[in-house]
Amino acid sequence: MMIVDLIDGDDFRDRLVALGIRIPEGACPETCARMALLKHMEVGVPGLQDLVREMMTHTDIMLPSVRAAIERFLLPGLR
């Protein structure tokens, strides 16, 4: 039996924090996405577009709340 780690809100937050975006502990995926977009609009976030692109290739293992936050805020905001 194969066990797959799901991409949850904590994983999403951790990946954004690794890019230098300050996000409070326990922030929901929507807050994480909004804060990431705001930071990107203010000063740019190198690697954010690549991260979003890479994460969207794994929607099969992504929690719906994370996917919805990315689709609602980051995909339109990064175009």
One digit per residue, pLDDT tens: the chain, 79 residues? 556 689 999 999 999 999 999 999 999 999 999 999 999 999 999 999 999 999 999 999 999 999 999 999 999 988 7
Q: What does residue 62 show for φ and ψ, rounded to 5 degrees?
A: -100, 135
Return all residues near 2 (Cβ < 8 A) that are at least 6 apart. Answer: none
pTM to 2 decimal places: 0.91
pLDDT of residue 74: 97
